[in-house]
Amino acid sequence: MDSLADNFNPLASISGFCSFMGCTDQTALNYNSEANVDDGSAII
């Protein structure tokens, strides 16, 4: 569990998928290499 994840739940007792929202388009100016869920914010 990662407290920095967008879907972090401090009451959770089972580890699962951590969601990091951001731009996942590697050609975009605001690309975020830590993001694993595209939020549609790409600036090309």
Mean pLDDT over 14-39 rounds to 94
> What distance in Å separates the CA atoms of residue 15 and residue 10, rounded to the nearest whole number?
11
**How many domains does the chain divide into?**
1
**What's the pTM?**
0.71
Place of tokens 């914010």: 41
Mean pLDDT over 29-37 rounds to 96
Six-digit token pair at 11? Answer: 């009451």
Mean pLDDT over 17-29 rounds to 95
> What distance in Å separates the CA atoms of residue 11 and residue 41, rounded to the nearest whole number?
30
What domain range includes position 40? 1-44
> What distance in Å separates the CA atoms of residue 44 and residue 34, rounded to the nearest whole number?
18
Q: Which residue has the higher pLDDT, 37 or 17?
A: 37
Predicted pLDDT at 2: 84
Mean pLDDT over 10-35 rounds to 93
pLDDT at 6 over 90: no
